[in-house]
Amino acid sequence: MAGRENPFEDDYRGFDVREDEAARGPLILTLAIGVLLIFGGVVWNTYRQGVRPATDGLPSVIAEAQPFKQLPADPGGNPVKYTDKQFYDAMDASQRSEADMKLASATTPATGALAGGPPADLRPVPSETLAEETVTAAPTPQPLPVTDLPLPGSEAKQPISAVSIKPPEPIAPLSSQARFTFTESGTFLVQIAALRSEEAAETAWRRVTSSAPELYHGASKRIQRADLGSEGVFYRLRVGAFAERSEAVAFCEAIKETGANCIVVTG
Protein backbone atom coordinates (compact mmCIF):
# COMPACT_ATOMS: atom_id res chain seq x y z
CA MET A 1 0.00 0.00 0.00
CA ALA A 2 2.87 2.30 0.76
CA GLY A 3 4.34 1.93 -2.64
CA ARG A 4 1.16 2.61 -4.50
CA GLU A 5 0.58 6.17 -5.77
CA ASN A 6 -2.53 8.05 -4.71
CA PRO A 7 -4.40 9.27 -7.82
CA PHE A 8 -6.03 12.12 -5.84
CA GLU A 9 -2.80 13.54 -4.46
CA ASP A 10 -2.75 16.46 -6.89
CA ASP A 11 -6.30 17.41 -5.92
CA TYR A 12 -5.42 17.50 -2.23
CA ARG A 13 -2.45 19.73 -2.89
CA GLY A 14 -4.75 22.31 -4.55
CA PHE A 15 -6.72 22.81 -1.32
CA ASP A 16 -3.60 24.22 0.41
CA VAL A 17 -3.95 27.43 -1.61
CA ARG A 18 -7.53 27.85 -0.53
CA GLU A 19 -6.58 27.46 3.11
CA ASP A 20 -4.03 30.29 2.74
CA GLU A 21 -6.67 32.60 1.22
CA ALA A 22 -9.13 31.74 4.00
CA ALA A 23 -6.52 32.65 6.60
CA ARG A 24 -6.42 36.22 5.28
CA GLY A 25 -10.14 36.81 6.02
CA PRO A 26 -9.79 37.66 9.73
CA LEU A 27 -6.92 40.02 8.98
CA ILE A 28 -8.96 41.94 6.38
CA LEU A 29 -11.94 42.12 8.74
CA THR A 30 -9.74 43.44 11.53
CA LEU A 31 -8.31 46.15 9.28
CA ALA A 32 -11.80 47.18 8.12
CA ILE A 33 -13.04 47.48 11.71
CA GLY A 34 -10.01 49.57 12.58
CA VAL A 35 -10.62 51.94 9.67
CA LEU A 36 -14.27 52.35 10.71
CA LEU A 37 -13.25 53.09 14.29
CA ILE A 38 -10.75 55.71 13.17
CA PHE A 39 -13.31 57.32 10.87
CA GLY A 40 -15.92 57.36 13.64
CA GLY A 41 -13.45 58.98 16.01
CA VAL A 42 -12.66 61.73 13.51
CA VAL A 43 -16.37 62.45 12.96
CA TRP A 44 -17.09 62.53 16.69
CA ASN A 45 -14.18 64.86 17.39
CA THR A 46 -15.31 67.23 14.62
CA TYR A 47 -18.86 67.22 15.96
CA ARG A 48 -17.70 68.06 19.50
CA GLN A 49 -15.60 70.97 18.27
CA GLY A 50 -18.56 72.44 16.35
CA VAL A 51 -21.01 72.22 19.27
CA ARG A 52 -20.69 74.70 22.15
CA PRO A 53 -20.58 72.98 25.54
CA ALA A 54 -23.69 73.41 27.65
CA THR A 55 -21.64 74.31 30.71
CA ASP A 56 -20.72 77.72 29.33
CA GLY A 57 -24.31 79.04 29.42
CA LEU A 58 -25.59 82.28 27.96
CA PRO A 59 -23.92 85.58 28.84
CA SER A 60 -25.85 87.48 31.49
CA VAL A 61 -26.03 91.26 31.82
CA ILE A 62 -26.22 92.49 35.42
CA ALA A 63 -27.45 95.99 36.15
CA GLU A 64 -25.16 98.32 38.03
CA ALA A 65 -25.89 99.09 41.64
CA GLN A 66 -25.53 102.86 41.16
CA PRO A 67 -28.12 104.81 39.13
CA PHE A 68 -27.12 105.68 35.61
CA LYS A 69 -28.21 109.34 35.95
CA GLN A 70 -28.17 111.56 39.04
CA LEU A 71 -29.39 115.07 39.68
CA PRO A 72 -26.58 117.51 40.39
CA ALA A 73 -26.43 119.21 43.77
CA ASP A 74 -26.51 122.63 42.10
CA PRO A 75 -28.69 122.42 38.99
CA GLY A 76 -27.87 126.02 38.04
CA GLY A 77 -29.53 127.76 35.16
CA ASN A 78 -32.26 130.39 35.20
CA PRO A 79 -35.42 129.82 37.20
CA VAL A 80 -38.46 128.88 35.21
CA LYS A 81 -41.54 130.92 35.87
CA TYR A 82 -45.06 129.64 36.31
CA THR A 83 -43.99 126.18 37.38
CA ASP A 84 -46.64 126.31 40.10
CA LYS A 85 -49.45 126.15 37.58
CA GLN A 86 -51.42 122.97 37.91
CA PHE A 87 -52.26 122.68 34.24
CA TYR A 88 -48.68 121.53 33.61
CA ASP A 89 -49.46 118.46 35.68
CA ALA A 90 -52.38 117.63 33.41
CA MET A 91 -50.26 118.12 30.29
CA ASP A 92 -47.29 115.91 31.15
CA ALA A 93 -49.09 113.64 33.69
CA SER A 94 -46.47 114.43 36.37
CA GLN A 95 -46.91 114.89 40.10
CA ARG A 96 -45.20 117.84 41.78
CA SER A 97 -44.63 117.93 45.49
CA GLU A 98 -46.33 120.47 47.67
CA ALA A 99 -42.95 121.91 48.66
CA ASP A 100 -42.15 122.73 45.05
CA MET A 101 -45.53 124.36 44.67
CA LYS A 102 -45.03 126.57 47.74
CA LEU A 103 -41.48 127.45 46.72
CA ALA A 104 -42.60 128.58 43.29
CA SER A 105 -45.47 130.57 44.77
CA ALA A 106 -43.17 132.36 47.20
CA THR A 107 -40.57 133.33 44.64
CA THR A 108 -43.04 134.60 42.06
CA PRO A 109 -44.79 137.82 43.09
CA ALA A 110 -48.47 137.94 42.38
CA THR A 111 -49.20 140.79 40.04
CA GLY A 112 -52.61 141.74 38.82
CA ALA A 113 -54.43 139.16 40.93
CA LEU A 114 -58.18 139.30 40.97
CA ALA A 115 -60.03 140.24 44.14
CA GLY A 116 -61.48 137.42 46.19
CA GLY A 117 -65.10 136.53 46.23
CA PRO A 118 -67.46 134.78 43.88
CA PRO A 119 -67.12 135.55 40.19
CA ALA A 120 -69.15 138.43 38.92
CA ASP A 121 -71.98 137.73 36.56
CA LEU A 122 -71.06 139.44 33.32
CA ARG A 123 -74.34 138.76 31.60
CA PRO A 124 -76.50 141.85 30.95
CA VAL A 125 -79.30 142.25 33.49
CA PRO A 126 -82.62 143.51 32.09
CA SER A 127 -83.65 146.87 33.48
CA GLU A 128 -86.69 146.96 35.79
CA THR A 129 -87.93 150.07 34.05
CA LEU A 130 -88.49 148.30 30.75
CA ALA A 131 -92.11 148.25 29.73
CA GLU A 132 -93.84 144.95 29.49
CA GLU A 133 -94.21 143.62 26.06
CA THR A 134 -97.64 144.10 24.64
CA VAL A 135 -99.15 141.44 22.48
CA THR A 136 -100.99 142.92 19.56
CA ALA A 137 -103.71 140.93 17.92
CA ALA A 138 -103.32 140.09 14.30
CA PRO A 139 -105.49 142.24 12.03
CA THR A 140 -108.63 140.67 10.73
CA PRO A 141 -108.08 139.55 7.14
CA GLN A 142 -110.13 141.39 4.57
CA PRO A 143 -112.25 139.28 2.22
CA LEU A 144 -110.90 138.99 -1.28
CA PRO A 145 -112.97 140.49 -4.06
CA VAL A 146 -115.00 137.93 -5.92
CA THR A 147 -114.52 138.02 -9.65
CA ASP A 148 -116.97 136.34 -11.95
CA LEU A 149 -115.18 133.90 -14.22
CA PRO A 150 -116.44 133.61 -17.76
CA LEU A 151 -118.24 130.43 -18.61
CA PRO A 152 -116.54 128.02 -20.95
CA GLY A 153 -117.31 128.78 -24.53
CA SER A 154 -118.31 132.38 -23.86
CA GLU A 155 -114.93 133.77 -24.87
CA ALA A 156 -114.46 134.69 -28.47
CA LYS A 157 -112.51 132.05 -30.27
CA GLN A 158 -109.38 133.36 -31.83
CA PRO A 159 -108.89 132.25 -35.41
CA ILE A 160 -106.06 129.82 -35.87
CA SER A 161 -103.94 130.44 -38.89
CA ALA A 162 -103.67 127.40 -41.07
CA VAL A 163 -100.15 126.10 -41.58
CA SER A 164 -99.48 124.68 -44.96
CA ILE A 165 -97.52 121.45 -44.79
CA LYS A 166 -95.28 120.87 -47.73
CA PRO A 167 -95.78 117.40 -49.09
CA PRO A 168 -92.65 115.25 -49.12
CA GLU A 169 -90.80 114.98 -52.31
CA PRO A 170 -91.43 111.67 -54.00
CA ILE A 171 -88.53 109.26 -53.99
CA ALA A 172 -87.46 108.26 -57.41
CA PRO A 173 -87.97 104.52 -57.83
CA LEU A 174 -85.09 102.32 -58.76
CA SER A 175 -84.58 101.99 -62.39
CA SER A 176 -85.90 98.66 -63.54
CA GLN A 177 -83.77 98.84 -66.63
CA ALA A 178 -80.67 96.67 -66.40
CA ARG A 179 -77.27 98.26 -66.79
CA PHE A 180 -76.09 95.43 -69.01
CA THR A 181 -77.76 93.30 -71.64
CA PHE A 182 -77.71 89.58 -70.90
CA THR A 183 -78.64 86.87 -73.35
CA GLU A 184 -79.03 83.15 -72.80
CA SER A 185 -77.44 82.30 -76.13
CA GLY A 186 -74.27 84.29 -75.48
CA THR A 187 -70.87 82.60 -75.42
CA PHE A 188 -69.08 84.89 -72.95
CA LEU A 189 -69.44 84.54 -69.16
CA VAL A 190 -67.95 86.32 -66.16
CA GLN A 191 -66.63 84.07 -63.38
CA ILE A 192 -66.85 85.74 -59.97
CA ALA A 193 -65.86 82.89 -57.59
CA ALA A 194 -64.60 79.29 -57.33
CA LEU A 195 -65.73 77.55 -54.12
CA ARG A 196 -65.40 74.10 -52.58
CA SER A 197 -69.13 73.26 -52.42
CA GLU A 198 -72.28 73.99 -54.36
CA GLU A 199 -73.95 75.38 -51.21
CA ALA A 200 -71.15 77.91 -50.84
CA ALA A 201 -71.64 78.96 -54.45
CA GLU A 202 -75.38 79.47 -53.85
CA THR A 203 -74.64 81.57 -50.76
CA ALA A 204 -72.17 83.71 -52.71
CA TRP A 205 -74.75 84.31 -55.44
CA ARG A 206 -77.37 85.50 -52.94
CA ARG A 207 -74.84 87.79 -51.34
CA VAL A 208 -73.72 89.56 -54.52
CA THR A 209 -77.25 89.95 -55.90
CA SER A 210 -78.48 91.50 -52.64
CA SER A 211 -75.50 93.86 -52.35
CA ALA A 212 -75.73 95.18 -55.94
CA PRO A 213 -79.17 94.34 -57.37
CA GLU A 214 -78.95 96.92 -60.15
CA LEU A 215 -75.70 95.38 -61.37
CA TYR A 216 -76.99 91.80 -61.56
CA HIS A 217 -80.51 92.66 -62.77
CA GLY A 218 -81.42 90.27 -65.58
CA ALA A 219 -78.29 88.10 -65.14
CA SER A 220 -78.42 84.34 -64.71
CA LYS A 221 -76.12 82.24 -62.57
CA ARG A 222 -74.26 79.22 -63.80
CA ILE A 223 -72.50 76.85 -61.39
CA GLN A 224 -69.97 74.59 -63.08
CA ARG A 225 -68.31 71.65 -61.29
CA ALA A 226 -64.58 71.34 -62.04
CA ASP A 227 -62.44 68.40 -60.86
CA LEU A 228 -58.81 69.54 -60.75
CA GLY A 229 -57.35 66.22 -59.61
CA SER A 230 -54.88 66.65 -56.76
CA GLU A 231 -56.12 70.17 -56.08
CA GLY A 232 -59.67 68.95 -55.45
CA VAL A 233 -63.13 69.75 -56.76
CA PHE A 234 -64.25 73.35 -57.24
CA TYR A 235 -67.62 74.87 -58.07
CA ARG A 236 -67.23 77.86 -60.38
CA LEU A 237 -69.84 80.59 -60.01
CA ARG A 238 -70.34 82.35 -63.35
CA VAL A 239 -72.68 85.13 -64.53
CA GLY A 240 -73.93 85.60 -68.07
CA ALA A 241 -74.26 85.44 -70.72
CA PHE A 242 -73.02 88.07 -73.15
CA ALA A 243 -73.09 88.05 -76.92
CA GLU A 244 -69.97 90.22 -77.21
CA ARG A 245 -66.72 89.97 -75.32
CA SER A 246 -66.62 93.76 -74.84
CA GLU A 247 -69.90 93.57 -72.89
CA ALA A 248 -68.49 90.87 -70.66
CA VAL A 249 -65.33 92.94 -70.07
CA ALA A 250 -67.42 96.02 -69.18
CA PHE A 251 -69.49 93.95 -66.73
CA CYS A 252 -66.33 92.59 -65.11
CA GLU A 253 -64.93 96.11 -64.72
CA ALA A 254 -68.15 97.15 -62.97
CA ILE A 255 -67.76 94.23 -60.56
CA LYS A 256 -64.15 95.24 -59.80
CA GLU A 257 -65.37 98.74 -58.91
CA THR A 258 -67.37 97.19 -56.04
CA GLY A 259 -64.19 95.64 -54.61
CA ALA A 260 -64.69 92.10 -55.94
CA ASN A 261 -62.66 90.20 -58.52
CA CYS A 262 -63.68 88.43 -61.73
CA ILE A 263 -62.45 87.03 -65.06
CA VAL A 264 -64.02 86.74 -68.51
CA VAL A 265 -64.42 83.18 -69.77
CA THR A 266 -66.24 81.41 -72.58
CA GLY A 267 -69.15 79.12 -71.75
pLDDT of residue 125: 56
d(CA 240, CA 187): 9
Q: What percent of the chain has pLDDT over 70?
A: 53
Average pLDDT of the chain is 74
For residues 81-110, give the mean pLDDT.
Answer: 59
* List of residues 6+ apart from 175 with CB closer than 8 A: 214
The answer to whether residue 219 sits within a structural domain is yes
d(CA 131, CA 30): 135
Task: Confirm whether pTM is higher than 0.85.
Answer: no
- CA gyration radius for the chain? 65
* List of residues 6+ apart from 234 with CB closer than 8 A: 194, 195, 196, 225, 226, 228
Question: Per-residue pLDDT for 226 more than 70?
Answer: yes
Number of domains in the chain: 1
pLDDT of residue 195: 93
Q: Read off the pLDDT of residues 21-34 as tens digits, 9 standing for 90 and up.
A: 666 778 889 999 99
Cβ-in-10-Å burial (0-12, 13-18, 19+) of 31 comes to exposed
pLDDT of residue 238: 94
How far does the chain reach from its first CA to its final CA, in angstroms?
127
The answer to whether residue 161 sits within a structural domain is no
Query: What pLDDT band is residue 171 in, cutting at 50, 70 and 90?
Result: very low
The answer to whether residue 217 sits within a structural domain is yes
Check: CB of residue 185 under 8 Å from CB of residue 243: yes
Q: Read off the pLDDT of residues 51-85 as tens digits, 9 standing for 90 and up.
A: 665 555 666 777 778 888 888 888 777 777 776 66
Query: What pLDDT band is residue 12 in, cutting at 50, 70 and 90?
Result: low
CATH number at residue 232: 3.30.70.1070
| Residue 106 phi, psi (nearest 5) | -75, -35
Residue 204's domain spans which residues? 188-266
pLDDT of residue 190: 95
The answer to whether residue 66 sits within a structural domain is no
Residue among 202, 212, 207, 210 at smallest CA distance from 180: 212
Check: CB of residue 237 under 8 Å from CB of residue 192: yes
Percent helix, strand, coil in the chain, to 5, is 35, 10, 55
The answer to whether residue 234 sits within a structural domain is yes
Query: What pLDDT band is residue 43 in, cutting at 50, 70 and 90?
Result: very high
The answer to whether residue 221 sits within a structural domain is yes
The answer to whether residue 197 sits within a structural domain is yes
The answer to whether residue 242 sits within a structural domain is yes
Check: CB of residue 241 under 8 Å from CB of residue 264: no
For residues 242-261, give the mean pLDDT.
Answer: 93
For residues 128-137, give the mean pLDDT.
Answer: 50
Cβ-in-10-Å burial (0-12, 13-18, 19+) of 187 comes to middle
Count of alpha carbons within 13 angstroms of residue 109, beta-carbon side: 2
pLDDT of residue 27: 87
d(CA 110, CA 172): 111
